Amino acid sequence: MRKRFLYLVLVIVLVSCGTKVSKNPEILVKEVELHSAKIDSDKALEIETTEGALTDTDGFEDIGKFKFTVFFNKETNELLKITNVETTDKTITETYYFKNNKLSYFGSHLGNSKPKKIYLYNSKVVSIENLSPEEQKLFIAKAKRFQKAFKETH
């Protein structure tokens, strides 16, 4: 009788703790794209832009300029999007989208080269396009720095 009870408990534990069915990455990418489009179409968002000079690593010589724009919900103070444009001898445009205070999408364009993209769902990378693992880490870390700077000033 005791063995049957233990067997029943074991079966219940295995069934209740089994693997969860995860969503298809293509569906998650579509969800992220829909969320990003919703942010882009929201005309009620507060927009703040900062412009300035880019300097060399020593901070002495101007090597270009930047334009940094944040889009956020003024009522909730939730950061939704950041656009960062850096212009030197070339122009790099980076766009970061956030959902529930987490990075959900990153896109970067450099001239005529293929766009670089990262799609995330609940802080987990779902899809990557044209990015090395090092670049992926770099841009996710950069998004966290931008988000932290926003929280410190808002």
Closest to 80 in 3D by CA, of 68, 69, 88, 72: 72
What is the chain's pLDDT, residue by residue, as a tens digit (154 residues)? Answer: 566 655 555 556 555 554 454 678 888 899 999 999 999 999 999 999 999 888 877 777 888 899 999 999 999 999 999 999 999 989 999 999 999 999 999 999 988 889 999 999 988 999 999 999 999 999 999 999 999 999 998 8
Q: What is the pLDDT of residue 17?
A: 56
Q: What is the pLDDT of residue 19?
A: 47
Instruction: Please state the pTM of the whole predicted model.
Output: 0.80
Cα gap 80→82, rounded to integer Å? 7
Domain assignments of the chain as residue spans, ordered by start: 48-55+62-154
∠ Cα 8 9 13 (to 5°): 120
